[in-house]
Amino acid sequence: MDQNDGKQWHMPWYDWLIFLLPSLLIISLGLESAFGPPLRADGTEYNDFRAVAHWFDPVFFQYNLVMALLVVLVVPSLALSYTLTMANRKERRLQHEVPPERRGEIRRRMGRRASFGTYRGSVWLTTTVVMLGVSILLLFKPVSSPDGVGADFSLGANMLTMGPFAELYEKNPEAYYSHFIRNQIAFQFGFLGAYVYFIGSVVRAYFTMDLTSLTFVDGAIRMIVASILALVLSFAFDFILPGELTPASAASSATAARENDSAESSATAESSSDTVASTAKTANEDSKADSDDNSSETESTIPAGLSLLPVVSFFFGFYPKRASLVIERVALKIMRNIVPESSYRALPLSMLAGMSYSHELRLEREGFDNIENLSNADAVDLAVRTCFSYGQLKQWIDQAWLATHLREDYPDFVRRTGIGSSDELRRFLSICDSAKVDGIEQLVAGLSIDPAASESWKLRLTTLKILLDIGPAPPEDCRNLAEIEHEPG
């Protein structure tokens, strides 16, 4: 054990690049911001990454770089810390839980997992995704004209960010830039929501000794998918809130039209008489003042509906699986009248005692997304791969076996008999056989009083008894049952 601990501290030199490369890139930007000239020697602007260092105030930019460095390095740091400390704790815990004949298997499998090399590919992937997302979130500064300092999007954007609004590039540049900003906000806050959820799941997995390479891969995929889905969601805001998302140029055109109409009417009134002209002039001044106020208000305020966009995008990134679960359940209810009731449906893991939503997600990540799959799992294998104890997994697998055979009748069977797993049923029937008591008759009596239902239950329970291959119970259990049977009352 001590030898393994000593080996874990050794890392190949190329594994340290995951810490060094982001650090060197961010430090170079900070030095460029602090000491580099804003322009080249010939007076022209930079056309490479050095230009980013001069888009913001130096102090503000360097503060953003520090935040970006912390956000990026937290991913490999947690992986390294876990392999050095928490993996050994998990191995010691499992050595006390699993049967003695399988402890050697625990040592071999945990030895392969307790090394940074196991996490190398997934950590590189996640770190790269986080670095790209944080760059857009903290270092991105869009401008709408070549005169501004930042990324010049007056030159155009790709179809991913603009979609059908790309045609506004030549027709209405103001509306084009407005839509571009909305799409970028949705993309950024979708990434932010997914990243916050990812950090929470990684920290939870760290302290529950369940941090695997799949945790990082799942987080990277979540951040990618959530960002893209939030971007797609932003295109629907024109349909949901058409009045709120009217481009500022359209409002300005409407204001200008009202000003022209007012000017024409005032000119006509002036030509008719001096009195009418004076009245029209006063009205024209009032109308012009109102239009100026409306114009300034249009230019200085943001539509209230846009405030929903970052909020919706953030929670869309934070709860993508819950949203997909709601959509799936709604679709199942709609399809219930189409799909025959006799068709086979997998049983959800939520039927098992002690199974929470987070537990379902964790088992689903390992490939066990329903009760039928879990009934064929190996408790020792899952104990190594997840945070759950061997005893808890053994209980869930035994419950899943019984639920697979009883299906929709499983909850009612547990409620009426108090037997929730195959191990409990095997023990009960074994004790009854050793005490010369018909355990099946006792169970059927507690389950149903309908003769037809009783025959069905008797057949099913007899089948389960054969499948369980029940033998005689230990003598002490037989004596306990006999004492219970002969107690008065």
Q: Looking at the predicted structure, is the pLDDT value of residue 275 above 50?
A: no
**3-state SS track over the chain:** CHHHHHHHCCCCHHHHHHHHHHHHHHHHHHHHHHHCCCCCCCCCCCCCHHHHHHCCCHHHHHHHHHHHHHHHHHHHHHHHHHHHHHHHHHHHHHHHHCCHHHHHHHHHHHHHHCCHHHHHHHHHHHHHHHHHHHHHHHCCCEECCCCCCCEEHHHCCCHHHHHHHHHHHHHCHHHHHHHHHHHHHHHHHHHHHHHHHHHHHHHHHHHCCCCCHHHHHHHHHHHHHHHHHHHHHHHCHHHHCCCCCCCHHHHHHHHHHHHHHHHHHHHHHHHHCHHHHHHHHHHHHHHHHHHHHHHHHHHHCCCHHHHHHHHHHHHHHHCHHHHHHHHHHHHHHHHCCCCCCCCCCCCCHHHCCCCCHHHHHHHHHCCCCCHHHHCCCCHHHHHHHCCCCHHHHHHHHHHHHHHHHHHHHHHHHHHHHCCCCHHHHHHHHHHHHHCCCCHHHHHHHHHCCCHHHHHHHHHHHHHHHHHHCCCCCCHHHHHHHHHHHCCCC
pLDDT at residue 216, as a whole number:
92
What is the mean pLDDT of the segment spanning 205-224?
88
- pLDDT classification of 386: cutoffs 50, 70, 90: confident
* pLDDT single digits (tens) 116-163: 888 889 999 999 999 999 998 888 888 877 777 788 777 777 777 887
Q: Is residue 238 predicted with pLDDT exceeding 70?
A: no
Both tokens assigned to 452: 């037809």
Residue 471 pLDDT class (50, 70, 90 cuts): low
Which of 86-95, 256-265, 309-318 tops mean pLDDT? 309-318
Query: What's residue 191's pLDDT?
Result: 92
**Is the whole model's pTM more than 0.95, yes or no?**
no
Count the neighbouring beta carbons within 10 Å of the beta carbon of residue 147.
8
| Residue the block writes with tokens 């010939």 | 42
Interatomic CA distance for residues 58 and 140, integer angstroms: 15
Cβ-contact 83, 115 below 8 angstroms: yes
pLDDT at position 108: 74
What mean pLDDT comes out for the span 41-63? Answer: 83
pLDDT of residue 126: 94
pLDDT at 477 (0 to 100): 46
Identify the pLDDT of residue 289: 46
> Among the listed ranges 72-76, 174-178, 241-245, 375-379, which one has the minimum average pLDDT value?
241-245
Residues 107 and 88 sit within 8 Å (Cβ to Cβ):
no
pLDDT above 60: residue 300: no
Q: What is the pLDDT of residues 148-161, one digit of tens each?
A: 778 877 777 777 78
Domain ranges of the chain: 2-233, 248-302, 320-485
CA distance 383 to 1: 19
User: Looking at residue 160, what is its pLDDT?
Assistant: 79
| Statement: residue 313 has pLDDT above 80 | yes
Residue listed under structure tokens 């001069």: 54
Return the pLDDT at 65: 92
The reported pLDDT for the residue numbered 240 is: 66
Query: What pLDDT does 361 receive?
Result: 82
Residues 245 and 307: their CA atoms lie apart, in Å, by 11
Least confident of 246-250, 315-319, 351-355, 402-406: 246-250
Averaged pLDDT score across all residues of the chain:
76
Model pLDDT for residues 328-375, shown as the tens digit of each residue = 666 666 666 555 554 557 888 888 988 888 888 888 888 898 999 999
What is the pLDDT, as a whole number, of residue 179? 82
Judged by phi (left if over 0) then psi (alpha if -120 to 50, else beta), residue 364 lies in alpha
Which is nearest to 429 in space by CA: 453, 388, 463? 463
Asked whether residue 469 carries a pLDDT value surpassing 90, the answer given is no
